Amino acid sequence: MTKEKWTESIRNQIVVYLINYQKNRHLLQDRPYLIFEDMAVVFRIADQRDLLKERIVEQRDLEQWGIGIHELYQCALNNTLRLFPACVETPDGRSTGTDKEPVFIMSNEQGVYGAAVMLYPGFLKSFSEKYSWNLFLMPLSVHEIFVLLDRGQHASYLLHETAKMITSKFISKKDYLSDNIYYYDSNENQILTLY
């Protein structure tokens, strides 16, 4: 394949998604990836007719296309924003929280590999500013992130215990992303690992 082939036939279909780095190291040997906390940003060629059907991007693809990992990432992130728009809901399906302490679920509109919304430029900042609070992020599954507002009422170690319990009982090995707790600081526009 030439670089021209990359631009014309594949460029608009490549998207990003997140997987757990440690549990998938064996799968990453021949794939381009970037590290994001305890996760790996990986790439697939999306099939818009069947969202779970995919072709994984391999290292040899980059060589054939004549591009580097950072060009691939920028292109794939732009496509992901366009093809898989972010959405936020509460567990009861409402698009806005009305409970005193709602748990928000962030994903994409398709609900497939939606934890990648953590990577969307400005998305967490906009959400955090809407509620005027920093955020606790629990990316338990590759498909979604559970989010709590930091109003001073949550102990991070208890959130970590809850995350471990949820991932062990309710998240399949295939969909497991992390049982770590992350903290989004809106002032710094930064994600920090708490556990």
For residue 74, the enclosing domain spans 3-83
Quick one: 118 and 22 in the same domain?
A: no
pLDDT > 50? residue 115: yes
Dihedral (Cα; 134, 190, 126, 104), 10-degree rounding: -50
Q: Cα–Cα distance between 49 and 83 in angstroms, integer?
A: 12
Quick one: 26 and 71 in the same domain?
A: yes
The confidence score (pLDDT) of residue 156 equals 86
Q: Cα–Cα distance between 129 and 135 in angstroms, integer?
A: 10
Quick one: 74 and 97 in the same domain?
A: no
Find out whether 109 and 98 touch, Cβ atoms under 8 Å: no
3-class state of residue 4 by DSSP: helix
Quick one: 189 and 104 in the same domain?
A: yes
- Residue 70 dihedral angles phi and psi, to the nearest 5°: -75, -35
Which of these three, 41, 62, 83, is where a domain ends?
Answer: 83
Domain total for the chain? 2
The confidence score (pLDDT) of residue 8 equals 64
Q: Give the H/E segment covering residue 148.
A: strand 144-149
Residue with more model confidence, 125 or 48: 125
Quick one: 27 and 106 in the same domain?
A: no
Range of weakest confidence among 18-27, 74-83, 105-114, 153-162: 153-162
For 134-143, the pLDDT digits (tens) are 999 999 999 9
* Of 182, 39, 186, nearest in space to 116 by CA: 39
Our CA angle for 47, 48, 54, nearest 5°, is 20
Quick one: 119 and 94 in the same domain?
A: yes
pLDDT > 90? residue 100: no
Quick one: 103 and 128 in the same domain?
A: yes
Which of these three, 29, 51, 83, is where a domain ends?
Answer: 83
Q: Cα–Cα distance between 68 and 65 in angstroms, integer?
A: 9
Quick one: 187 and 98 in the same domain?
A: yes
The confidence score (pLDDT) of residue 175 equals 96
Quick one: 60 and 108 in the same domain?
A: no
Quick one: 79 and 90 in the same domain?
A: no
* Of 14, 191, 193, 13, nearest in space to 119 by CA: 191
Find out whether 89 and 105 touch, Cβ atoms under 8 Å: yes
For 47-93, the pLDDT digits (tens) are 777 766 778 999 999 999 999 999 999 999 999 999 999 999 986 66
Quick one: 7 and 72 in the same domain?
A: yes
Structure confidence at residue 97 as a pLDDT band (50, 70, 90): very low
Quick one: 64 and 159 in the same domain?
A: no
The confidence score (pLDDT) of residue 94 equals 56
Which of these three, 42, 60, 83, is where a domain ends?
Answer: 83
With tokens 């409970």, the residue in question is: 99
Question: How many beta carbons lie within 10 A of that of residue 111, not counting itself?
Answer: 14
